[in-house]
Each structure stands twice: as structure tokens, then as C-alpha cells.
Chains A and B, each alone.
Chain A
Amino acid sequence: MGSLTGTALLAASVAPAVSPKAVAPSVAPSPPIAAPSIDLVGVLPVLIVLGAACLAVIVEAALPKRQRFVTQVFLAVGSIIAAGVATVVLGVQGHYVVTFAGAIAVDSATYVMWGSLLALAVVAVPVMADRVIEPGGVFAAEASAVIGSPRAKQATAVATPMQTEVFPLALFAVGGMLVFPAASDLLTLFVALEVMSLPLYLLAGMARRKRLISQEAAVKYFLIGAFTSAILLYGIALLYGYAGSVKFAAIASAARAGGGSDLLLLAGIGLLVVGLLYKGSVGPFHLWTPDVYQGAPTPHSAFMGACTKFAAFAAMLRVLQVALGSMAWSWKPVLMVIAVISMAIGAFFGVIQQDLKRMLAYSSVAHAGFLLLGVMSITERGVTATLFYLLTYGFATIGGFNLLMLVRRGGLEAPRLADWAGIGKKSPAVAATMTIFLLSLAGIPLTSGFIGKVVIFTAAMNAGMGPLVVIAMIATVVTAFFYLRVIVMMYFAEPPATSVAAGGVEAPTVALPSTLTLVTIAVCAILTILLGIVPQPVLDIMHVTFPMLS
């Protein structure tokens, strides 16, 4: 455990720019050491984000506290947009390449994944900068201050501005997410996973309010994440033992040729896939999800819900298709069972949740089950469908979580279902927008979530998974029940009477967010409707061609 954490931290500290180079020689042990070919243009979006992250660290050290916030926000949002532009330009040019000695594969799928991830990140990250809803910011002013200490109390009392280290952390996470689905060998995959995860652990523990539960979430997330890393690493080791290489292409050809120890191969696949499933919060590997989503600062929950899930499933798509595609007979039945379990857990546990953040967490588990259907179909359509679904799910989730921040009581978020009673009367706009997101998550026509369901279930049906599609439909109805319950609360229930004077509980109020947050919520809502009515252009853009490079 300790050594593992050490590895992870080491990986994170060296990962940004150096890791692919550091890894490459070790996997190509042929006697004459040839310099690996490096195409920096192909990975430009990654370089922009990680470069900006490093720059942000310097900003943190160099600039006076007063100027940091604005600089950091501009740097973060600007670099994500710049990376997005670079992705679009390269994608249009068709700059497909396998570089860093086969460690990174940049193909049409990679560009689609990067573009979508950056699109989600650009709406998720600005919300972290909101300092209007919660005076000083949703993140802690001094995360290192002992909880309950005078310093910590003071920081909250006078609304000391939040720590701006949040932004470089988020950028590092985005960088890791970009590398994760582009990784073409298992070590790069692992390093990217760590680069992505470590900032997420930290950010989860940085909530300004409810510090204890936030730190608890961080510790849980970290411990389970570390376990997962170990499992994944073990899987990598076994696969290396089987194929003699960590490259996806080599593993694929070794598996196709057969002859080695099947035990090594199958156990390796199992452990590797379980590691990835943990990150995608697929049930029954979801146990961290509700606690972390609940405890983490809400913008961070949104970020994790949309972007981490995207990265995890995108990586799964590549690994299962490229490296383990020929072994589909071995993992497909298992994943089918897992998909059903995930849908069932997400749907049925979601029903009994009284906390909306936990409800969204279980909804993410159920959606992970639906997503697995797309992953398992291993066709061009399946990949496009999965990515499209992830995109639609991401926007609805970011929008939903962000709206959760607005309903507050006594300065704290009020995420209990009962707190949302009568919001439709208090703030029709919040209720209407939330309804759009919930209907999309439930998969009602004219929302993006519906088109997502159609494309993913079509892909699954095409791949001969008809019975699973029917099960997924039934699970969808169950999830619709708890989404609907929120709508019932918002519109059909009477708001609780304000009776502070009588010693009762103060009624929740609806806070007004910063302009930036408002814009991101609006963007999420518009895209949710737009992708539901005219999905064709986006489906065209997201078209992925096979075979994926490696």
C-alpha cells in the first residue's frame, strides 16, 4: 500500500511532460537504442493543458494573492479552449499518428474523445470559480487548516477567498484525462490514470463547508483509488507476463496467436478491466461514488461525474477494442452480467436516496450500466454511440449538479429531496432547467439523453444484445421514477413554511450564481435540448473509424 502510494505520487510528479519518454525505453528493450519518434503536434492539446497546468503552479508561487484568482481562471479556461481549438484543427486535418514509441495513439477516436472531454471540461471548470453562491468560493480558503480550528472558522466567517490551487489541480486532472483514452500501452494508461486521479482526490477534500464529510470523501476516494490502482497494476503485470510487452498491439497479437498461459491472460484481463470499471463507477465497483459525490465540493462532483466518467469509458473503449478485442468471448459475458448489476444497483438504490447528490451518484451507476452496452458492442457505431451518450450524460450531470448548489439553507447547500419542495413556485427558472436535465437523464424524447439512449441501444441491439436492451429499458423506468420524484417535489409539493421564529427549520432559498456559472448552466441546458432535436451534425462529427490505431 505504502509503496504503491509512493509510486503513484512519483508518477504524478513526473508525469506531465516526461512520463511517455521515461516509459518508452523500458518497453523497447532491443539492443540498439533508437530514439523513439515523437510527434509533438499530434499531442498538442495535451501539451497545452499540461503546460498551462505547470504555468499555473508557477503563477501560484509568483503572483501576489490578489491577482491569482483572475489569472488562474483565465489560464484554466483559456487553455482548455485553446486545447479544444487545437483538437478541432488537428482532427479536421486528420493528423493521425502513433507516437512516443507506440505509447500514445492519436486517431479519429482520440480526437473525438479529446474534443468531447474538453467540451465537458470547459463547462465544468468555470463553475469551480464561482464566488457568488458561496461567498469566497465553494472551495476552502485554507484546506490545510485543522477543522474546527480558529483559523478555519475565521476563514469561513469572513469569507476569505478560496485557494486558487484548485485550478492547476483541475488542469492536471484534465491533462490526465486526455492522455488516458489515448494511451496505447498499459504503462501510459496507468500513469495517465494516476495523473488524472491524484488531483481529483485532493479536490474532493477541499469543500469550504462541511469540511469533515468532504475530507472523509477524499480519504475514501483516495484509499479505494489506491486499491484500484494496485489491482490495475497487477493486471498490467500479468498481461506483460503473458505477452512480453505492455503495448496494446503486442498484447492483441499475442492473444490472437495464443499459446501462452491462458491463466495469465484471463487473470490479467480481469484485473485490468476491474480497475477501469472502478474509475467508471460501474456497479458493483461503485462503492466510493455516492460518498464522494456527496462530500466533494459540488462543482467537483459535477466535474467527476462528467469528465472522469468520460475518460474512464473512453479508455475502456480503446483497451477492450484494441488490446483485448480478440478476447471478447472471455470478457463479454462477464461485462454483460456486470452491466445488469450496475443498472440494477443504480436504479434500485437510487430510488431510496433522499439526498439529491447521492441520487445523482446512483444515477451515474445506472448510466454506467447503459454505457457498458455500447462498450461491449465493439463496433464503430458502438464507439460513436458510447461517446455521444457520455457527452449528453455529461452535460445533463454538470447542469444538474450545478443547480444543486443554488438551493441553500443558512448558507449551506440544501440537497435533501424535501428541501426542493415547491422550488417551482420560488424559482421557476431553476425548476424548469432542472426538469430539462432530469428528463434528459430519464431519456425522454426531444432531450439529448433520449438520442443517447437510442444510439447506444441500437448499437447494442445490432451486436445481438437484445435481452440486455430490454433489461436496460426496465432499469430506465426505475431511474425515471427517482428523477420524476424531484419534478414532483419541485412542482407539485407546497414549499415548507418559513417558521424560524417558531424555532422551526428555515426554508431553503434560491441563491443567484455568478454570471460564469449562469452561462455554463444555460449552455448545458441549451445543448441538452439541441442535441435532442438535431443530433445529426454531432453524430457526424463523432463518427469514429475503425480500426483504432495502436
Chain B
Amino acid sequence: MSSFPYLLVLLLLPLVGGIVVAGMGGAPVRTAKFTALGFSLVEFVIAVLLWFDYRSLLASGSAEPFGEVVKVAWIRSFGIHFALGADGISLILIAMTCFLVPIVLGASWEEKLPAGRTISGYFALLLVFQSAMIGVFAATDVFLFYCFFEVMLIPMYFLVGYFGGPRRAYAATKFFLYSLLGGLLMLASVIGLYVASGHVLPEGTLDWETLRSIAHQIPESTQVWIFLGFAVAFAIKAPLVPFHTWLPEAGAEAPTGASTLLVTTMDKVGTFGFLRICLPLLPAASQKLVWLFLLLALLGIVYAAIVAAMQTDLKKFVTFTSIAHFGFIVMGVFAFTTQAMAGAVLYMLNHGIATGLLFVIVGMLIARGGSRQVADYGGVWKIAPVLGGIFLVATMATLALPGTNSFVSEFLVLIGTFQRHPAWAIIGTAGIILSSVYVLWIFQRTMTGPLRGAAVVDTGSAAYDGDDGPRGRAPELEPAPTAGSSGGAAVLVAAPAEPKVKAGFGDLKPREIAVVAPLVAAIIFLGIYPKPVLDVIQPTVTATMHAVGVSDLAPATQNLNGGGN
């Protein structure tokens, strides 16, 4: 075992960073920003070290079920421990969080916050949020998991409600109450799990390993009730479709950095929870309710894809693509084949990277145009080719084009699901087609064609364009009808001169390129060579499958890494 308490440091470092940055109210903003970035980079380095340490533990075979354990008794009367540990799944998510936070900080460097809000406060909250996220992924005590699950709401609540867009108070409250409802039902289940363990053991406990060892002794009917409490919480968090309505609101109103983390990391807690708690600790109930979650997953894939295509708000669009992707992840989790589950875990990482990039680039676009409406943009590629290119990469990763990271995971999920539930997999595959519809359409509307849109074109110049003077007075009316292809052509004919580009609407700056470059690199690298990640995932997935008591069907191959072996 390693002597260095990686997880404890990972947990506390951002918290300390948050407090330090928050305390720097008097210091120049620049110093505060660099301090926050420094903390997040150190955190990332530690996460990388943790990764290698875990790899060596795996190699030596001592990573079962958790590597890097920290365990202290917390509330003895309830068998509660402060226990941290990392398995393959949590390691992936911790690494993803630590990878994304510096990027988000970089992307938020010049974030336009509401009047009176300081960027140091914003960065501080982001760091505190990161700390809670590490905690929720690393907790190996169900109670501790619950605590972090609830605590992470508070920084995010303030990130949305204090720093967000015009409807921020409404979005924040809705988000908080929705999550709290799920959280409290989950608390009932946590207590139920404790009580149920007390019927099997002399003393009740909430320690994950102990609970897993007695999981098969808890009667099925009890398991189903406990399962439902957890499942509602995770379904709200993920979100699965009937429970998703908070996400588009919160995701759209939050400042870009916060919504990136909200969608990429916080939502993973839902699917992570299924893998960490529902499947291993409540195996009988999980098997019994598989149909329900496959149904919800498919519903999510299809419904969110259709709704995403209809969105007029760019940020809401991204959240709906994310909801569709979570459908795939949940399908992979509940397909109960090694391939599908490994694919789902990999998808959790890849979604973080791909959707992260999409959110960041959309945020950069919105920062230029000052509007979230799709209709306010058009032909952006002409004036910002790098931005357009990155946008294209992000959209391709979102629709899981072969060669991008998402393809590997989506393919694994579908092929794994097909082995057990062919019909579900076939319908799910239709989701890929739908995703290309919404993704390509949004790309076409914002990036291609002639320059247009109130956010791109300087409407002030319309006043001296002569003939369309009266229309120039109502700039928001102008771009809307031209969204169609014929309308675009009409504009071309009517105004052969290039419209004047709005001041400040330029291509990506070096800082922004530096921010998106790691994401683009990760998308391509993991699209071509996912083996290092799959190697980490596979042992944990096998263990989880074993805990549920299911094994692959005969024709399935255990080898995830294709022909390489």
C-alpha cells in the first residue's frame, strides 16, 4: 500500500484552495485567479500520481475492492465511518473531475458575472464544489457518500443562484429542491439499509464492503424498497427522463463554467451511484428492476434527442444532448454484460470530455455574442474558423463519430446490450441517428452559411445601410426568418456586401485555445487508443458484475480490447 494519502489530499486540497481564494477578497483579481488555477493544477498532478499508484496496485493485485483506503470511525452508534477508497470507476471519475476543473477555470477566466459578484468568489466556489465531488466519488461508506451527495448541492446552488443568468434564483431553487427530494428519499433508503443490515448482522453498519458481503442476505422485498429510494435520487441526479426538468434550467442559467461541471461531473454521480450502491449492495432488486431502467434509458435517448433538436437556447441544447447520453450510460449499466458496463463507465469519462468541450466552446461563443439564442448566430465559421473547427470536433464527438472517444464507449454499450437485449439495443442505435440530426442541425444553423444573427452582425450598422432602416430599429426580428436555407440565400442576394461583424466578435484567443486543446487531444487520443482507461475499468466492472450475480452470456467475449490480444 502506498503511504501517501492521495484521496485525503485530493479531498482537502480544493477545499483549502477555495477558502484561500475566498479570503483573497482584497488581493488583485489576477492573483486570486492564478491561485485558484494553481490549486487545481496541483490537484490534477496528484490525481495523475493517484492513477499511476492505482495502476501499480492493480498490477500487484492488491486493489481489491478498493485501493488507497482511508478509514476512521465517525459516528460509532450508527456504524458510520469516514472511509475513502478508489476503485476503477471512482478513479476514472476523480481523474475526470481533476482534469476538467483547471480547464473550467481557464474557460471562466474572463467570465461576465452579474453585477456585484467577484470572480474570486466564483472560483472559490468552483474549488469547494470540486472537493465535494471528489468526496462523493471516493466515499466508501454509504452514509459518507450521502453526506457528500447533499453537500455538493450547496456550492452548486450558490454557483447557479448567485452567479447565474437572469432566471438564476428560480433555476437554483428548482435544482436544489429537486435534488433534495431525491436526496432525502435516498436518506430514507440509507437508513433502511442500516436497519436491514442490523437484521443480518449483530450491529447495523453502513460500511460499503460489509454491506456488499451481506447483500444477498437482505430479502428481496426489502431490497426493492431500498433500491427505489436510491434509484429516485440517482435518476434525478443523472437525470433520467421523467426527472430531468431541473437540468435544462440550471444548466442554462448557471455561468458556463459551473454548468460545464454540473453536467459533466455532478450528473455522473447519478450513474456512479447506480454502479456503486444499487448494483452491488442491492443485487436482487437490481435484477428485478432491470426492465424499468432500460425503459427509462431508451425513453431518455429518444425523447432528449428530439427535444434537443427543437431547442432555441444553446445551453439548453447542450443539456439535452447530455440527457440523451445519460440514456446510453444507464442502458450500459443495466444491460449486465461486461462490455456494456465497461462501455458505460468509459462513456461517463468520454461524456465528460466531449460534453465538456461542447459546453466550453458554446460558452465561448455566447461570451462573444452575448446571447444564448441559436437564432442569433449564423455563419460564425467565416469570422472565427478556429472556434468553428473546435465546435465541429465537439459536435462530432457528441454524435460519436468513429475516431472520437464517444464512439468507443457508445459502441461497447450497444454491442454489450445487444447480447442480452437485442431489441433495446436496436432502438438505442436509432438514437445515434437522432443525435446526428440535432448535432448537425445546430452546427449548420450557427456556423455555416452567410454571416447573420443579432449576436454576430453589428446591427448598429444597419442604420446606414439605407433601405432597411425601419428593420434596423428592431434587430431581434431580423435574423429569425433567415434561419431557413432559402432565407439565407435571399439575404445573400439582397445584400452582396458582407455585413459588418460586431465589435469584439473574433476568433479564439491563445488562452482559449490552450483551454480547449487538452480536451481535443483527449477526444482524439481516447478515440484511437482507449486501452489504458479500459484496463483500469475492467477489474472493477468484473467485480461489480460478480456482486450482482450475473455473468456474460456464452457468446460474449471477455476481452474488451478487441484484437489486440
With A444-B150, A536-B76, A539-B77 already in contact, the answer to whether A453 and B181 are too (CB < 8 A) is no
Specify which chain B residues have a CB less than 8 angstroms from the CB of A485 in the assembled complex.
Answer: 173
Q: Which of B295-336 contact A (CB under 8 A)?
A: none
B266 → chain A closest CB, angstroms:
16
Specify which chain A residues have a CB less than 8 angstroms from the CB of B185 in the assembled complex.
Answer: 470, 473-474
Q: Which of B133-185 contact A (CB under 8 A)?
A: 143, 146-148, 150-151, 153-154, 158, 161-162, 168-169, 172-173, 176-177, 180-181, 184-185
A436 → chain B closest CB, angstroms:
11
**A432-456 vs B: 1/0 string, CB under 8 Å?**
0000000100111110001101110
B496 interface contact, C-beta 8 A: no
B187 touches A457 (CB 8 A): yes
B191 touches A458 (CB 8 A): yes
State which size class the interface on A falls in.
35 or more
B181 touches A474 (CB 8 A): yes
A488 touches B188 (CB 8 A): no
Tell me the nearest residue of chain B to A533, going by C-beta.
B74
B253 → chain A closest CB, angstroms:
11
| Complex Cα spacing A442 to B154, Å | 12
8 Å CB contact of B168 from A443, A445, A492? A492
B192 touches A466 (CB 8 A): yes
A75 interface contact, C-beta 8 A: no
| Complex Cα spacing A493 to B176, Å | 17
B78 interface contact, C-beta 8 A: yes
8 Å CB contact of A469 from B161, B188, B198? B188
B161 touches A491 (CB 8 A): yes
Tell me the nearest residue of chain B to A535, going by C-beta.
B75
With A439-B154, A477-B181 already in contact, the answer to whether A454 and B192 are too (CB < 8 A) is no
A313 → chain B closest CB, angstroms:
20
Tell me the nearest residue of chain A to B147, going by C-beta.
A445
A484 touches B116 (CB 8 A): no
Specify which chain A residues have a CB less than 8 angstroms from the CB of B150 in the assembled complex.
Answer: 444-445, 450
| Complex Cα spacing A128 to B144, Å | 39
With A457-B187, A457-B188, A462-B195 already in contact, the answer to whether A488 and B76 are too (CB < 8 A) is no
Prevailing SS type, chain B contact patch: helix
| Complex Cα spacing A354 to B13, Å | 41
A493 touches B151 (CB 8 A): no
Specify which chain B residues have a CB less than 8 angstroms from the CB of A454 in the assembled complex.
Answer: 78, 143, 187, 191
**B114-142 vs A: 1/0 string, CB under 8 Å?**
00100000000000000000000000000
Specify which chain A residues have a CB less than 8 angstroms from the CB of B146 in the assembled complex.
Answer: 445
Specify which chain B residues have a CB less than 8 angstroms from the CB of A540 in the assembled complex.
Answer: 77
Q: Which of B158, B169, B173, B191 has the most CB of A within 10 A?
A: B191
A421 → chain B closest CB, angstroms:
11
A261 → chain B closest CB, angstroms:
39
A473 touches B78 (CB 8 A): no
8 Å CB contact of B180 from A451, A480, A492? A480
A491 touches B192 (CB 8 A): no
With A454-B191, A535-B75 already in contact, the answer to whether A491 and B158 are too (CB < 8 A) is yes
| Complex Cα spacing A472 to B344, Å | 35
**B212-235 vs A: 1/0 string, CB under 8 Å?**
000000000000010001000000
B172 touches A457 (CB 8 A): no
A477 touches B184 (CB 8 A): yes
With A477-B177, A480-B177 already in contact, the answer to whether A470 and B188 are too (CB < 8 A) is yes
Specify which chain A residues have a CB less than 8 angstroms from the CB of B162 in the assembled complex.
Answer: 491-492
8 Å CB contact of A484 from B75, B176, B198? B176
A528 interface contact, C-beta 8 A: no
Chain B residues within 8 Å of chain A by Cβ, number: 36
Specify which chain A residues have a CB less than 8 angstroms from the CB of B181 in the assembled complex.
Answer: 474, 477
8 Å CB contact of B74 from A461, A491, A492, A536? A536
Tell me the nearest residue of chain A to B74, going by C-beta.
A536
A349 interface contact, C-beta 8 A: no
| Complex Cα spacing A491 to B191, Å | 33
A451 → chain B closest CB, angstroms:
8
Q: Which of A486-514 contact B (CB under 8 A)?
A: 488, 491-493
A344 → chain B closest CB, angstroms:
16
Specify which chain A residues have a CB less than 8 angstroms from the CB of B74 in the assembled complex.
Answer: 536
B194 interface contact, C-beta 8 A: yes
B156 → chain A closest CB, angstroms:
13
A476 interface contact, C-beta 8 A: yes
Specify which chain A residues have a CB less than 8 angstroms from the CB of B158 in the assembled complex.
Answer: 491
| Complex Cα spacing A488 to B187, Å | 25
A536 touches B161 (CB 8 A): no
Q: Which of B66-89 contact A (CB under 8 A)?
A: 74-78
With A535-B75, A536-B76 already in contact, the answer to whether A493 and B169 are too (CB < 8 A) is yes
A240 interface contact, C-beta 8 A: no
A309 → chain B closest CB, angstroms:
22
B147 touches A477 (CB 8 A): no
With A457-B188, A458-B195 already in contact, the answer to whether A466 and B225 are too (CB < 8 A) is yes
Specify which chain A residues have a CB less than 8 angstroms from the CB of B78 in the assembled complex.
Answer: 454-455, 458
B19 → chain A closest CB, angstroms:
14
| Complex Cα spacing A64 to B308, Å | 79
Specify which chain A residues have a CB less than 8 angstroms from the CB of B194 in the assembled complex.
Answer: 458, 461
Specify which chain B residues have a CB less than 8 angstroms from the CB of A439 in the assembled complex.
Answer: 154
B177 touches A474 (CB 8 A): no
A108 → chain B closest CB, angstroms:
16
B124 → chain A closest CB, angstroms:
14
A242 → chain B closest CB, angstroms:
36
Specify which chain A residues have a CB less than 8 angstroms from the CB of B187 in the assembled complex.
Answer: 453-454, 457, 473
8 Å CB contact of B161 from A446, A451, A492? A492
B147 touches A446 (CB 8 A): yes
Specify which chain B residues have a CB less than 8 angstroms from the CB of A443 in the assembled complex.
Answer: 184
With A488-B169, A488-B172, A492-B168 already in contact, the answer to whether A473 and B195 are too (CB < 8 A) is no
B75 touches A539 (CB 8 A): yes
B161 touches A488 (CB 8 A): yes
A481 interface contact, C-beta 8 A: yes
A488 touches B154 (CB 8 A): no
Tell me the nearest residue of chain A to B149, going by C-beta.
A445
B151 touches A444 (CB 8 A): yes
A457 touches B191 (CB 8 A): yes
| Complex Cα spacing A124 to B281, Å | 45
| Complex Cα spacing A470 to B173, Å | 22
Q: Which of B316-375 contact A (CB under 8 A)?
A: none
A40 → chain B closest CB, angstroms:
34
B275 → chain A closest CB, angstroms:
22
Q: Which of B532-565 contact A (CB under 8 A)?
A: none
Specify which chain B residues have a CB less than 8 angstroms from the CB of A450 in the assembled complex.
Answer: 147, 150
Specify which chain B residues have a CB less than 8 angstroms from the CB of A491 in the assembled complex.
Answer: 158, 161-162
Specify which chain A residues have a CB less than 8 angstroms from the CB of B180 in the assembled complex.
Answer: 442, 476-477, 480
A425 interface contact, C-beta 8 A: yes
| Complex Cα spacing A462 to B74, Å | 21
With A466-B225, A470-B185, A536-B76 already in contact, the answer to whether A461 and B192 are too (CB < 8 A) is yes
A469 touches B191 (CB 8 A): yes
Q: Which of A66-108 contact B (CB under 8 A)?
A: none
**A515-550 vs B: 1/0 string, CB under 8 Å?**
000000000000000000001100110000000000
Q: Which of B40-89 contact A (CB under 8 A)?
A: 74-78
Q: Which of B87-133 contact A (CB under 8 A)?
A: 116
17 examples of A-B residue contacts, CB within 8 angstroms: A442-B180, A444-B150, A445-B150, A446-B147, A453-B187, A454-B191, A461-B195, A469-B188, A476-B184, A484-B177, A488-B161, A491-B162, A492-B162, A492-B168, A492-B169, A492-B172, A539-B75
Interface residues of B (CB under 8 A from A): 74-78, 116, 143, 146-148, 150-151, 153-154, 158, 161-162, 168-169, 172-173, 176-177, 180-181, 184-185, 187-188, 191-192, 194-195, 198, 225, 229
10 closest pairs, A vs B, by CB? A473-B184, A445-B147, A492-B169, A477-B181, A445-B150, A461-B195, A461-B191, A458-B191, A492-B161, A473-B188
Interface residues of A (CB under 8 A from B): 425, 439, 442-446, 450-451, 453-455, 457-458, 461-462, 466, 469-470, 473-474, 476-477, 480-481, 484-485, 488, 491-493, 535-536, 539-540
